[in-house]
Amino acid sequence: MGEFPTVTDVARVAGVSRQTVSNVMNTPGIVKADTRARVEAAITALGYRPHASARRLRTRRSSTIGIRLDPMIDGISGSVLDRFLHALTEQADARGLRVLLFTATSPEDEIDQFRRLNDGADVDGFVLTSTTADDPRTAWLLEHDIAFVTFGRPWQENDFTDPSHLWVDVDGHAGLYAATRAQQDAGARRIAYIGWPSPSGTGDDRRRGWHEAMLERGDVSAEELARLEVITTDGVDQGAAAMRQLARTAGGIDAVLCASDALALGAMIANPARVSVTGYDNTPIAAAIGLSSVDQPVDEVAAGVLELLTGEFEGQVSHAPDSASPRYRMVTPRLVTRQFEAIPRDSVPANALVDEVSR
């Protein structure tokens, strides 16, 4: 293989100047049709590909977005972000954008990476996941006029309406509201909830969805409702423990909703009565076990993120509040209903089959 052709080579072959070749690629509208055709022919004839770094050096644009990838937290919780990453990569590709990964050990370290990647024109903007209240990263990015969009709304009062902070989030409230309604429509009255300790932006949001739906129907009194709720940290074991606690203290329950699939799996395991269990995130586990779950539509989230981010690229990086389009996207999750296929209700008690197997 010889050397790579450059704009100059293409220009020579097409009998035009460098700049015209450049125009054909970037602003084809201003090039006369037949000239453009000639240049395009030369491009394909030579197999020309623009040198991305040279372009970046000049334009200070990279068509690349950066996203931090955490060391895998061994498990279930990471899965949504992975799905999001896949969706983001795919949709970014469709828009001619690339995704660059990096890691960071702390918010400060991450800010350092922001600076490095931004100064080096490696990326045009960032996608942040798992934002916290009072996040130092968003403050820094805003201060330095660097484009970014967060997956997750800002959980602070004043930030929520801040027009310069773009975000996309999934409406956990709506998700649990729908899940509760679905159970109620199926005849359930006493619907329990296993959730995370407050304050937790996402956790509180989900809990409210259940709580409001329950109050609206009025099937149970407010004080009974309190007994139908168990607060615990995330995890399979915790879910099982919570379920056992419900069995002890809540009286009969018709269904259980959980703040996560991990909790739901635990609940399901400690669930000899085969009460309907609904999780959150629709992880592979939910699919495998046959657990209903609230699915976060990561495709829509990714689309929203890119929409906001590229909107930011195009226009100047102005934080103009007069912008007509909204500065955020709230995505409604989808309830995925499953029957307990995996551990069938009519499964024979443990030791009944031993003989048959070893017959």
Partner DNA sequence: AGAAAAAGTTTGATCGATCAAATAATACCG
Partner DNA sequence: CGGTATTATTTGATCGATCAAACTTTTTCT
Residue 256 binding partner per list a second copy, DNA, none, with a CB distance cut-off of 5 to 8 Å that depends on partner kind: none
Residue 217 binding partner per list DNA, a second copy, none, with a CB distance cut-off of 5 to 8 Å that depends on partner kind: none
Residue 249 binding partner per list DNA, a second copy, none, with a CB distance cut-off of 5 to 8 Å that depends on partner kind: none
Q: Give the angle subtended at the CA of 55 by the CAs of 53 and 60, to the nearest 5°.
A: 95
Question: Which residues sit at the interface with DNA, rule CB under 7 A?
Answer: 3-4, 6-8, 15-23, 25-26, 30-32, 35-36, 48-51, 54-55, 57-59
Read off the DSSP letter of residue 253: -
Smallest CA-to-CA distance from 306 within 54, 84, 34 is with: 84
Residues forming a β-bridge with 67: 101, 127
- Smallest separation, CB 163 to DNA (Å): 27
- Smallest separation, CB 286 to a second copy (Å): 10
Name the residue nearer to a second copy (CB basis): 325 or 351.
Answer: 351
Share in percent of the chain as helix, strand, coil (round to 5): 50, 15, 35
Name the residue nearer to a second copy (CB basis): 231 or 247.
Answer: 247
**Count of Cβ atoms closer than 10 Å to residue 73 Cβ:** 9
Name the residue nearer to a second copy (CB basis): 6 or 156.
Answer: 6
Residues forming a β-bridge with 276: 255
Q: Strand (E) positions, the chain?
A: 64-68, 98-102, 125-129, 147-151, 166-170, 191-195, 229-231, 255-258, 276-280, 292-295, 328-331, 334-336
Calpha distance 314→257 (Å, rounded) = 43
Name the residue nearer to a second copy (CB basis): 28 or 120.
Answer: 120
Residue pair 195/203 in contact (Cβ under 8 Å)? The answer is yes
Name the residue nearer to DNA (CB basis): 36 or 206.
Answer: 36
Residue 19 binding partner per list DNA, a second copy, none, with a CB distance cut-off of 5 to 8 Å that depends on partner kind: DNA
Residue pair 173/208 in contact (Cβ under 8 Å)? The answer is yes
- Smallest separation, CB 100 to DNA (Å): 18
Residue 3 binding partner per list DNA, a second copy, none, with a CB distance cut-off of 5 to 8 Å that depends on partner kind: DNA
Name the residue nearer to DNA (CB basis): 59 or 339.
Answer: 59
Smallest CA-to-CA distance from 122 within 144, 138, 99 is with: 99
Residue 297 binding partner per list a second copy, DNA, none, with a CB distance cut-off of 5 to 8 Å that depends on partner kind: none
Residue 6 binding partner per list a second copy, DNA, none, with a CB distance cut-off of 5 to 8 Å that depends on partner kind: DNA
- Smallest separation, CB 260 to a second copy (Å): 11
Residue 60 φ then ψ, to 5°: 65, 30
- Smallest separation, CB 154 to a second copy (Å): 23
Residue 35 binding partner per list a second copy, DNA, none, with a CB distance cut-off of 5 to 8 Å that depends on partner kind: DNA
* Distance set, CA 315 to CA 31, 96, 298, 308, 309 (Å): 23, 17, 26, 11, 11
The two three-digit tokens of residue 205, written as one number: 């949001």
Name the residue nearer to DNA (CB basis): 21 or 242.
Answer: 21
Name the residue nearer to a second copy (CB basis): 131 or 283.
Answer: 283
For 247-279, letters b (16+ CB in 10 Å) and e give: beebeebbbbbbbbbbbbbbbbbbbeeebbbbb
- Smallest separation, CB 132 to a second copy (Å): 21
